[in-house]
Amino acid sequence: MIPEFADDNADAHPLWLVRDELPEVLDAPARKWAASSGFSGKAGQICVLPDGAGGIAGALIGCGRDVARDRFALAKAASVLPEAAWRVADWPEGTDPAETALGWLLSQYAFDRYRKCHGAKARLVAPEGVDAARLLAMAEAEFLTRDLINTPANDMGPDALEQAARDLAARHGFAVHVVSGEALIEQNFPLIHAVGRAATQAPRLIELTRGDTGPSLTLVGKGVCFDTGGLDIKPPASMGLMKKDMGGAATVLGLAHMLVATGAAEGMRLRVLIPAVENAISAGAFRPGDILTSRKGLTVEVNNTDAEGRLVLADAMAYAAEDKPDWMITMATLTGAARVALGPDIPPFYCDDDGAAAAIQAAGMAHWDPVWRMPFWEPYESMIEPGIADLDNAPSGGMAGSVTAALFLRRFAEGARRYAHFDIYGWQPKPAPGRTKGGVQQGARALLAALPGLLK
């Protein structure tokens, strides 16, 4: 599925965005039709105007006064309007043409792998002055991420996730290197091997590289293709969405696509690392109480096999840090604590660089991809130190779960000049304009906007 704008030369119907007063260009019959339809300009209202000859003269979309309350609010029209080309006739103060256009593109998404379905059929002519190619790259990246997350684990195990990475690599000129199965032990990725060794598909570390000059950016995405919880098995209610536990991997692949497709990756060394595993249960599963030695040499006491994401990330991060990248960024569906703190819409992120953190958060708000900074709170470091080993993968007590997970990961980022961690949810719990229920990309647009400036 490829997002698209309407042909600029199409005979497009006009759209008027309305707050309080109807556009002056409307004639008396159109005004009467709007009034009899109960249209008042309230946010979310849509009124299709007839032309008197059985056709469409245009449409009114209610903006309301609080346009900042809902992301992509005007994109609701894309799913309601008849299949045709549409053009916004005017832009009231406070409305953003780029946001509207992107939301319209995102409304075209439908996950149709297992049944026939479609997204919005109404097509928008790209508003004048917006970077249409950039918006299309953003939407295509989002579609890629959503497809990967929405695909169930029987069709999106480590093998398929590797193939998705290879497909992206072939399209954009990345070199590919994969370490799999027992070779993980031989090449010193013991935590990735321990977490994935019980599954039918071999665990692996997928590596994509592109560019050999300029500042270096390494993206590390958690690729747990399904998480049973391991021997600390999840209850059914918690296991139902675990196909999305590779949402970090899906997101960094989408971000890599955007960086290349928009030209932002030119002049940089871009590296993507995905530890791809299934946290399964068999005689070979790792156990509560096991003490594992990481690639970095730090020992980890496994106090919960359901806290496996930070284990596979740790080995990948230690490997990444050996090259001392200018930026290392991890993205992972890591903790329920992050959802308790901020809900499903706003992923927390952690970064020690105040200026960079401010730039990332501002970019997220400006590009309709909100993220919220949380602290690497050093007084909590003792919570991840169990005494019997260097680190504890699941501190007891349940307090500050997202913070302690971030502190755990930071131990393996040493060597990178700057580091940021995103604890994403990767899922839209209920439909919203531009966002169908299901997999969703989070944090990637914020990083696309912020990273070029941060890598200078």
Kindly report the CATH number assigned to the domain that includes residue 100: 3.40.220.10
Phi, then psi, of 278 in degrees rounded to 5: -120, 130
Clarify whether residues 43 and 59 are in a common domain.
yes
Residues with Cβ within 8 Å of 93's Cβ and at least 6 positions away in sequence, in order, are none
Is residue 3 assigned to a domain? Answer: no
Q: Tens digit of pLDDT for each residue in 210-257?
A: 999 999 999 999 999 999 999 999 999 999 999 999 999 999 999 999
pLDDT at residue 67, rounded to an integer = 59
Domain CATH code at residue 296: 3.40.630.10
Q: At what angle do helices 401-410 and 309-321 cross, to 10 degrees?
A: 30
pLDDT over 70 at 66, yes or no: no
Provide the domain limits for residue 26.
13-130
Q: Tens digit of pLDDT for each residue in 260-272?
A: 999 999 999 999 9
Clarify whether residues 96 and 167 are in a common domain.
no
pLDDT at residue 68, rounded to an integer = 59
The mean per-residue pLDDT over the stretch 311-337 comes to 98
Between the CA of residue 139 and those of 34, 99, 288, 361, 408, what are the distances in Å? Answer: 33, 12, 42, 21, 33
Amino acid identity of 391?
L
Clarify whether residues 292 and 325 are in a common domain.
yes
Given 108, 130, 152, which residue is the final one in a domain?
A: 130
Closest listed residue to residue 73, CA positions, set 435, 361, 448, 425 = 435
List, in sequence order, every beta strand (DSSP E) within 51-170: 56-62, 85-88, 123-124
CA distance 39 to 34: 5
Is residue 287 assigned to a domain? Answer: yes
Sign of the dihedral defined by the CA atoms of residues 77, 81, 84, 86, in that order: negative
Is residue 5 assigned to a domain? Answer: no
Q: How many CB atoms lie within 10 A of CB 456?
A: 7
Ramachandran bin of 324, using left for φ above 0, alpha for ψ from -120 to 50, beta for the remaining angles: left
Clarify whether residues 164 and 248 are in a common domain.
yes
pLDDT over 80 at 3, yes or no: yes
pLDDT at residue 449, rounded to an integer = 97
Between the CA of residue 451 and those of 162, 314, 326, 339, 417, what are the distances in Å? Answer: 26, 23, 11, 25, 14
pLDDT over 80 at 456, yes or no: yes
Q: Tens digit of pLDDT for each residue in 347-398?
A: 999 999 999 999 999 999 999 999 999 999 999 999 999 999 999 999 988 8
Positions annotated as catalytic residues are: 234, 310
Clarify whether residues 125 and 141 are in a common domain.
no
pLDDT over 80 at 65, yes or no: no
Percent of the chain with pLDDT over 90: 91
Clarify whether residues 323 and 440 are in a common domain.
yes
Q: Tens digit of pLDDT for each residue in 179-198?
A: 999 999 999 999 999 999 99
| Contact in structure between 156 and 148 (CB atoms under 8 Å) | yes
Clarify whether residues 312 and 387 are in a common domain.
yes
The mean per-residue pLDDT over the stretch 414-420 comes to 98
Is residue 6 assigned to a domain? Answer: no
pLDDT over 80 at 69, yes or no: no
The mean per-residue pLDDT over the stretch 7-18 comes to 89
pLDDT at residue 38, rounded to an integer = 94
The mean per-residue pLDDT over the stretch 430-434 comes to 94
pLDDT at residue 311, rounded to an integer = 98
pLDDT at residue 355, rounded to an integer = 97
Clarify whether residues 310 and 442 are in a common domain.
yes
| Contact in structure between 3 and 143 (CB atoms under 8 Å) | yes
Clarify whether residues 151 and 291 are in a common domain.
yes
Is residue 7 assigned to a domain? Answer: no
Helix or strand (DSSP H, E) at 258: helix 247-261
Given 130, 151, 171, which residue is the final one in a domain?
A: 130
**Which burial class, exposed, middle or buried, applies to 377 when counting CB atoms under 10 A from its CB (0-12, 13-18, 19+)?**
middle
* Average per-residue pLDDT for the chain: 96
Clarify whether residues 115 and 222 are in a common domain.
no
| Contact in structure between 301 and 287 (CB atoms under 8 Å) | no
Strand order in the sheet with 291-293: 291-293, 299-301, 391-392
Q: How confident is the model at residue 70 (pLDDT cuts 50, 70, 90)?
A: confident
* Number of domain units in the chain: 2
Is residue 146 assigned to a domain? Answer: yes
Is residue 8 assigned to a domain? Answer: no
Clarify whether residues 112 and 142 are in a common domain.
no
Is residue 155 assigned to a domain? Answer: yes
Given 81, 108, 130, which residue is the final one in a domain?
A: 130
Clarify whether residues 163 and 219 are in a common domain.
yes
Question: Please, which residues bridge with residue 435 across strands?
Answer: 432
Percent of the chain with pLDDT over 70: 99
pLDDT over 90 at 165, yes or no: yes
